[in-house]
Amino acid sequence: MTEHETGPGADRVQQPPGAGVTRRDTGHDNGAQVKTGNDKAGPAAEAAIPELVIISGMSGAGRSTAAKCLEDLGWFVVDNLPPALIPTMVELGARSQGNVARIAVVVDVRGRRFFDNLRESLADLDARGVTRRIVFLESSDEALVRRFESVRRPHPLQGDGRIVDGIAAERELLRELRGDADLVIDTSSLNVHELRAKMDAQFAGEEEPELRATVMSFGFKYGLPVDADLVVDMRFLPNPHWVPELRPYTGLNEEVASYVFNQPGAKEFLDRYAELLRLVAAGYRREGKRYVTIAVGCTGGKHRSVAMSEKLAARLAAEGVETVVVHRDMGRE
C-alpha cells in the first residue's frame, strides 16, 4: 500500500438509537458520528477562532488519506504547511466571516528545527485559546517497508541508507509529537476504506461528546495493539476453546458469554475495572483528553476478550461515554 492506502481488520455496525455503543465486527461500515461544528451563528461567528486539527505521523502511514477524508467532510485542508505558519493560518480563518470554521493542517518530517517550530506554534495556539487536536498516523515497520517498496520510492529520511534507516530516524523525530497526540490511529492492517471509516467516526456527525472510547478485543498471539492506552488480560479465566460445544462460537454468542461470566472472578473483574475506568474517564475529561483505546486481550481474541469487551463497552455507554467496540482478531483463525 502507498500512503494513500491504509486499515482495521474490523468494521463497525451501528447499534439501535440510544444504545450508546457502536460495534465494529467483521462486517459492514455504518459510522458512529461526531460533530465538528460548522454552524454559522450571525455576527458573533464572524470572528470565531476556527477549530484546528493537526495531522502528522509516519511517512506511508496514511496522512494523505486522513487529510482527504477531512476535506470531504468540509474541512479546509492545507498540506505540508510549515509549522511556523499555523498560527497565521488560524488567524486568517478567524477573519473569514465564518467561512473557514474548521482547519486541518498536515505536517511531516523535515528535520529537528521543523518540530522546534511546531512546538513554538502549539504554544502560541494554546496561549490564544485555540481548540486544537493532533491526529497521529502510526504503522509498523514491516507495513511501512512494504508500502515504500510497492511504489519503489525511498523514505524521505533514508539518505544513502535503507528504508528501515529512514523509518527509524523518523520515529525518533516524531516520538514527542506522538506522545502529545489526542488520537493515534494504527494503520498497519487498515486499507484506505477502513482508515476513512475511522476518521469519519471521529470527525463526522452531529455533536461531539466529551470523551470517546474504543474498546478493542484482541488475541495476544497476534500481538498487542500499538494504539492502546490501557491493556487488560483475560487469560486468568478458563478458556471456552477447551469446551467442545463452545469452541466454534465467539464471545458474542450468548452461551459463550454466559460461560465466561459464570467463572470465578469474571463478574468481580468487570465491576472493579468498570469502576476504575470511571475514575480514569473523569481524569481524562479534566485533562482535555477526548479519545481512549482500551484493549482487552485473551489468547486468540475470540471468546473471553470479546465477551468482556462487550460488557465493558455497555458500562462505559451507561456512564455517558460514546463507545465503539472493535473485535480486532475475531474470525482470524
Task: Report the side by side order of strands in the sheet with 102-106.
Answer: 76-79, 102-106, 51-57, 132-138, 183-186
Which of 90, 88, 125, 99 is CA-nearest to residue 46? 99
- Residue 60 annotated as binding site: yes
Burial label, 26 (beta-carbon count in 10 A; 0-12, 13-18, 19+) = middle
Beta strands in 173-240 (DSSP E): 183-186, 212-219, 230-233
- Residue 27 annotated as binding site: no
- Residue 109 annotated as binding site: yes
- Residue 62 annotated as binding site: yes
- Residue 139 annotated as binding site: no
Is the four-CA dihedral 175, 177, 181, 185 of positive or negative sign? negative
**CA–CA gap between residue 220 and residue 71 (Å, rounded):** 37
Three-class SS state of 109: coil
As given in the structure block, the three cell numbers for residue 2 are 502507498
- Residue 189 annotated as binding site: no
DSSP 278-290: HHHHHHHHHTT--
- Residue 108 annotated as binding site: yes
- Residue 212 annotated as binding site: no
Binding-site residue positions: 57-64, 108-111
Binding-site residue positions for GTP: 108-111
Binding-site residue positions for ATP: 57-64
